[in-house]
């Protein structure tokens, strides 16, 4: 994965919640935990398509396995300003078993659906590897004896 360098301001809060939820369920000791959770989440959504109204991160999780995003081509669009649904719609495919549910969501909460799609798009390019800390040349804690310290501070 490539690092997300320019997450748009309008996605920061929702992306943070989505990322936290996805990473907390991605457990190497229980590899099926995330996929089972996402499947169960979608089944709930299928029963009540507006279940996650107001919870875009949960909506994104629920639909993440039921949509396909052409992220390569979507990345060519300027996303720093929030795009319209018409601009991103050509890059989104929906699995046949999810069409009725997704149609219902788009009919009533198109804005939230669009944001959920963008969360998934940016997450697919997110690299969670921690950055290596830069060495501090003036690190005072390396060698106490080479510096004059007032121990009677």
Residues of the chain with confidence (pLDDT) below 70: 1-5, 127-153
Cα angle value 4/53/22 (rounded, 5°): 35
pLDDT given for residue 136 in this prediction: 52
Cα angle value 128/133/138 (rounded, 5°): 165
What is the Cα–Cα distance from 11 to 30, expressed in whole angstroms? 29
pLDDT given for residue 126 in this prediction: 76
* All residues at 6 or more sequence positions from 70 whose CB lies less than 8 Å from its CB, including other chains: 91, 92, 93
CA distances to 48, 76, 103, 122 from 71, in Å: 28, 9, 21, 8
pLDDT given for residue 125 in this prediction: 83
Token pair of 23 as six digits? 């990473």
> Does pTM surpass 0.85?
no
């Amino acid at each position: 994965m490539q690092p997300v360098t320019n997450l748009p301001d309008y996605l920061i809060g929702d992306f943070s919640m989505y990322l936290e939820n996805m990473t907390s369920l991605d457990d190497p000791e229980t590899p099926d935990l995330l996929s089972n959770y996402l499947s169960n989440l979608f089944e709930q959504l299928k029963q009540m398509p507006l279940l996650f109204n107001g919870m875009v991160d949960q909506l994104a999780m629920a639909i993440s396995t039921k949509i396909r995003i052409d992220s390569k081509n979507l990345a060519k669009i300027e996303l720093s300003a929030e795009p319209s649904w018409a601009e991103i719609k050509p890059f989104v495919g929906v699995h046949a078993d999810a069409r009725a549910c997704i149609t219902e969501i788009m009919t009533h909460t198109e804005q939230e659906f669009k944001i959920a799609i963008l969360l998934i798009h940016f997450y697919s390019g997110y690299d969670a590897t921690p950055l290596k800390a830069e060495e501090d040349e003036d690190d005072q804690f390396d060698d106490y004896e080479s510096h004059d310290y007032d121990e009677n501070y």
